[in-house]
Structures are given as structure tokens and as C-alpha cells.
């Protein structure tokens, strides 16, 4: 059950709202930093997971780098305190304006996803009389054992440079006086739970690919393995802090490194996913012929993951737990939102405490890819933000 210290005050807040457990956030950042130091692996936070300013600024203050996927994210990372030389710029469709911005800031590296992009960055760097640091994003053709919409490392995905282009990529790098290729970047997908199996396979592929590029005369100074560490959506309280140790240990045990090479990872969900919950209020309890519905005041415009690809989030009735207590029995509900779309469903046939109009519910594990993907669809207001230490 989501921990709330002042439920009397909490229950009076206007809903819906995002609730961030800052004690858990600090624990997560500390654990990630400790494991990174233990295994000598650098962390770049994927800002796309959650761009709440207080969260991003705290991660910057922890000494992590930033991984960005748009020009606005690059600019925002700099504004939030990330040193320019710790900002990576990913994305398969960087515009000329975005490339120009990143060149002007002198970022750590562009993670280049195609040969046309590599050529354009070289041309634009030459026009400005600067050197662009790049990493080649390589498609290792590794199955991340995750949802097809968040798999990124297979041959049929739009991301990265595939094997048939390796030789040409080396030629372009060597022929460009304004390109400094500092390493290779890999990312096979998100929400990886089979960590040891997937990362072991990824590292084996990476070892061979690094050998190939170095045999062609490329000095691979950085090996960037991307992100992907999953979180426990089914039972968030059983594993509130993701297993950074297994992730980093598996990398350290399976990745072949040379003296001076640096290892990078780019977690997003793992740092913030369990920290956030979406809090909604029951508007109506509707008893249908075959189903009972909890209609709540937050919908897919706030958190689109369930509607977009059937993502599971645990749902808890906070009022039943904190006010009515153990005397409550359970009911079976379809929990739905107010948006005029049939896909605006939080969960079907969910067993929950008996729920009443006005009860607060928590949609758990919503700290990643929640508020950043929200919208004003149906002209609905976006949910506000509450931090646990501000109650």
C-alpha cells in the first residue's frame, strides 16, 4: 500500500494529482550512485522518463549525466544543472536546428543513429569550425524480452546502425575532419526484467562489435549500453528500488573492456518509476448488469500507458485502507476514466477494497512515462504535482 504520512491532509487535496515519494526517490538515487561507483559505470539519466524540474535537478546534483532525445531536452538539461560535457543527445530524427543547438553547447556526444545523420553532423560541424563528438548507435539485434512497442534493438527497429552499414560508417568517420568518434552506443529496449539473460547476450554481441570496429582502426573510448532496467509493476512495494546491483554486476562480469575505456548506462524508468503515483478520486460507482465500474476523475490524458499498449499498473483504494481499515471487504471492479474513449480503462476485473464515491485511489508505479506523456485531451486540465515532503 502506498505510504501516506498525513492522510487527513492528503485526502483534502484536489484531484487528480501526481504524488512523488521523495524519501524513496533519494534512496533510489543513492543506491544507483553506490552501484555505479562500485562497478565504475557512469550513469546518464534519460530525461524523457520524467522531466519534473525538482527531480531532474536532484539527479544532476548527484553527479549523473543526462540522456536527451530532443533539442528542448538538451537545453533543459543544461538549465537544470547538467554540465554540457555530460549531456548525450539521442534520437533518430534530429533536426538541423537541434544539431546546431547541441554543437553550440559543446555537449558530450551525439548518439548517431544513421549514416545520413552522421554526414549532416559532420557538415554542420565543419561549417561552424568545431569538432562534433559522436558515438555510433549500433543495432545489436538482441531481443529484450519486453513489449514490442518498447523493443529497440532488433533489425526491424528504426533505431541504430545495422551490420550492413558498419564499414561505411567507419569510412565516414575517418573521412570527416570535424567528427571525433569517441565510442559506440547500444540500447535493446525498456522494462527488461530478464536482466541477466538479456544483458549477458547484449554484452556478448557488444564484445564482438567493439572488436570489429577497433579492427577497422576506430578507437572505442566509450561503450554505452543504454538503459532498460525494469521495475516491478505488479507488486511495487516488494521491490521499491530496482535491482541496480544485478544490472551493473552482469555488465561488469560480461563486458570485455580495455584500459581507459569508459562504460555508460542510461536509466530512466529505473530511477523514477516507483517514485510516482497518480492519485484519482472515485466520481461514481456504477453497477452494470455484468460488471461493477469505478469511474474516476483521471484518465488516459494523464497516464496513457494502459490505453497505449495495455500496460499494467497496480491500483489501490487509499481511503478504504487509511479510513475504513480492515473491516472492509473486497469487490471486483473495472476501473475506468472519464475520457470519451473506450480505451480509457485503468484495469479490468480488479480485486480491490469496497469502494465508494469520493474515495481516493492510487495508480502505482507511474513516475516514469506518466506526466511527460500527459495531454489536455477532451480539454481536461493536467494533473498537479505534490511532493511527499511538502505535505
Task: State pLDDT tens for residues 359-386.
Answer: 999 999 999 999 999 999 999 999 999 9
Q: What is the mean pLDDT of the chain?
A: 94
- The domain of 295 spans 7-17+274-390
Residue 162 resides in a domain: yes
The C-alpha atoms of residue 340 and residue 376 are separated, in whole angstroms, by 13
Cell numbers given for 303: 497516464
The enclosing domain of 182 has a CATH number of: 3.20.20.10
Q: For the chain, what is the domain count? A: 2
Measured CA to CA in angstroms, residue 43 lies from 55, 113, 139 at distances of 15, 20, 21
Q: Are residues 112 and 238 in the same domain?
A: yes
Residue 2 resides in a domain: no
Task: State pLDDT tens for residues 187-210.
Answer: 888 899 999 999 999 999 999 999
Q: Are residues 258 and 321 in the same domain?
A: no
pLDDT of 158 over the 80 cut: no
Q: Are residues 341 and 219 in the same domain?
A: no
Domain boundary among 273, 297, 329: 273
Residue 1 resides in a domain: no
The per-residue pLDDT for 154 is: 46
Helices 244-254/22-39 angle, 10° precision: 20
Measured CA to CA in angstroms, residue 184 lies from 118, 255, 280, 329, 389 at distances of 13, 13, 43, 55, 40
The per-residue pLDDT for 26 is: 98
Q: Are residues 128 and 177 in the same domain?
A: yes
User: How many C-beta atoms lie closer than 10 Å to residue 124's C-beta?
Assistant: 17
Q: Tell me the whole-structure pTM to 2 decimals.
A: 0.94
Q: Are residues 29 and 113 in the same domain?
A: yes
Q: Are residues 184 and 201 in the same domain?
A: yes
Residue 217 resides in a domain: yes
Q: Are residues 13 and 70 in the same domain?
A: no
The enclosing domain of 341 has a CATH number of: 2.40.37.10
Q: Are residues 197 and 63 in the same domain?
A: yes
Q: Are residues 296 and 213 in the same domain?
A: no
Residue 40 resides in a domain: yes
CB proximity list for 222: less than 8 A, separation 6 or greater: 109, 135, 182, 183, 184, 185, 261, 262, 263, 264
Residue 90 resides in a domain: yes
Q: Are residues 254 and 348 in the same domain?
A: no
Q: Are residues 295 and 198 in the same domain?
A: no
% of the chain exceeding 70 in pLDDT: 95
Q: Are residues 247 and 314 in the same domain?
A: no
Residue 325 has what DSSP assignment? G
pLDDT of 145 over the 80 cut: no
CA contacts within 13 A on the Cβ side of 254: 20
Q: Which of 274, 346, 287 is nearest to 317 (CA)?
A: 346
Cα of first residue to Cα of last residue in the chain, in angstroms, is 18
pLDDT of 347 over the 50 cut: yes
Domain boundary among 225, 246, 273: 273
Domain boundary among 227, 243, 273: 273
Residue 315 resides in a domain: yes
- pLDDT tier at 150, thresholds 50, 70, 90: very low
Residue 50 resides in a domain: yes
The per-residue pLDDT for 289 is: 87
Amino acid at each position: 500500500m502506498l505510504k501516506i504520512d498525513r492522510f487527513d491532509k492528503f485526502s483534502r487535496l484536489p484531484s487528480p494529482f501526481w504524488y512523488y515519494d521523495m524519501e524513496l526517490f533519494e534512496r533510489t538515487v543513492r543506491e544507483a550512485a553506490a552501484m555505479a561507483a562500485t562497478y565504475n559505470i557512469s550513469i546518464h539519466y534519460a530525461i524523457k522518463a520524467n522531466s519534473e524540474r525538482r527531480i531532474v535537478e536532484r539527479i544532476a546534483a548527484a553527479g549523473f549525466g543526462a540522456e536527451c532525445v530532443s533539442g528542448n531536452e538538451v537545453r533543459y538539461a543544461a538549465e537544470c544543472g547538467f554540465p554540457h560535457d555530460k549531456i548525450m543527445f539521442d534520437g533518430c530524427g534530429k533536426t538541423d536546428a537541434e544539431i546546431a543547438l547541441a554543437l553550440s553547447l559543446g555537449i558530450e556526444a551525439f548518439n548517431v543513429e544513421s549514416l545520413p545523420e552522421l554526414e549532416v553532423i559532420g557538415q554542420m560541424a565543419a561549417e561552424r569550425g568545431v569538432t562534433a563528438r559522436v558515438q555510433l548507435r549500433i543495432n545489436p539485434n538482441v531481443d529484450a524480452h519486453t513489449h514490442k512497442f518498447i523493443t529497440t534493438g532488433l533489425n526491424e527497429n528504426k533505431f541504430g546502425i545495422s551490420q550492413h552499414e558498419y564499414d561505411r560508417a567507419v569510412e565516414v568517420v575517418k573521412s570527416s575532419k570535424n567528427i571525433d568518434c569517441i565510442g559506440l552506443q547500444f540500447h535493446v529496449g525498456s522494462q527488461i526484467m530478464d536482466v541477466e539473460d538479456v544483458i549477458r547476450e547484449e554484452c556478448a554481441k557488444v564484445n564482438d562489435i567493439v572488436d570489429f570496429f577497433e579492427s577497422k582502426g576506430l578507437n572505442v573510448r566509450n561503450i554505452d549500453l543504454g538503459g532498460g532496467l525494469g521495475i516491478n509493476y505488479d507488486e511495487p512495494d516488494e521491490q521499491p528500488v530496482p535491482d541496480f546491483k544485478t544490472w551493473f554486476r552482469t555488465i561488469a562480469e560480461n563486458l570485455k573492456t580495455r584500459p581507459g575505456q569508459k562504460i555508460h548506462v542510461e536509466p530512466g524508468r529505473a530511477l523514477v518509476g516507483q517514485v510516482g503515483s497518480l492519485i484519482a478520486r472515485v466520481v461514481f460507482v456504477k453497477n452494470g448488469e455484468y460488471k461493477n465500474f469505478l469511474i474516476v476523475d483521471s484518465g488516459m490524458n494523464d497516464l496513457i500507458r494502459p490505453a497505449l499498449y495495455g500496460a499494467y499498473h497496480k491500483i489501490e483504494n487509499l481511503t478504504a485502507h487509511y479510513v475504513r481499515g480492515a473491516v472492509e471487504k473486497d469487490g471486483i471492479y473495472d476501473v475506468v476514466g472519464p475520457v470519451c474513449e473506450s480505451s480509457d480503462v485503468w484495469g479490468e476485473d480488479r480485486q480491490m477494497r469496497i469502494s465508494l464515491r469520493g474515495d481516493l485511489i492510487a495508480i502505482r508505479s507511474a513516475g516514469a512515462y506518466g506526466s511527460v506523456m500527459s495531454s489536455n485531451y477532451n480539454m481536461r486540465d493536467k494533473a498537479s504535482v505534490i511532493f511527499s515532503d511538502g505535505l
